[in-house]
Copies of this chain bind each other. A is one copy, B any other.
Amino acid sequence: MNEFEFKQVIVVRRDLEMGRGKIAVQAAHAAVSATEEARKMFTEWWMAWLREGQCKVAVRVDSLEAVMRLEERSRELQLPFARVIDRGLTQVEPGTVTCLGIGPAPSSIIDKLTGDLSLL
């Protein structure tokens, strides 16, 4: 994905029992919410990312702790992010953290956080 100067990474917990449709919806929540953060606070990144074709990458983690560490790192690096907390109507308990959207942001920064993670 070197051709993209900006990207958004969607981090999905795979230690939860979520089916294909549930994952798709949770990933979409993360994408929309993190995009909205970027639109409000990092408008130039947001615009450049849309112009490039809104590159998105979905990666997996296997624990809540891994999500929380990535959120903390995102905060330290002042990246836009959004944590998804599910209402728990289906498949997971209410209040479960399912996903984290990071970016859109420069790939060179975001890769420091997520470059080692496996694709979803």
A residues apposed to B, CB below 8 Å: 8, 10, 12, 20-21, 23-25, 27-33, 35-36, 50, 53-54, 56-58, 87, 119-120
Contact = CB atoms under 8 A, between A and B. Distances in A.
A57 B120 contact: no
A8 B32 CA distance: 11
Given A21-B120, A23-B20, A32 B54 contact: yes
Residues of A contacting B: mostly? helix
Enumerate the 8 nearest inter-chain pairs by beta-carbon distance, A residue then B residue, closest first. A21-B120, A28-B31, A24-B27, A24-B58, A21-B58, A25-B56, A28-B28, A27-B28
B27 A25 contact: yes
A92 to B, nearest CB: 15
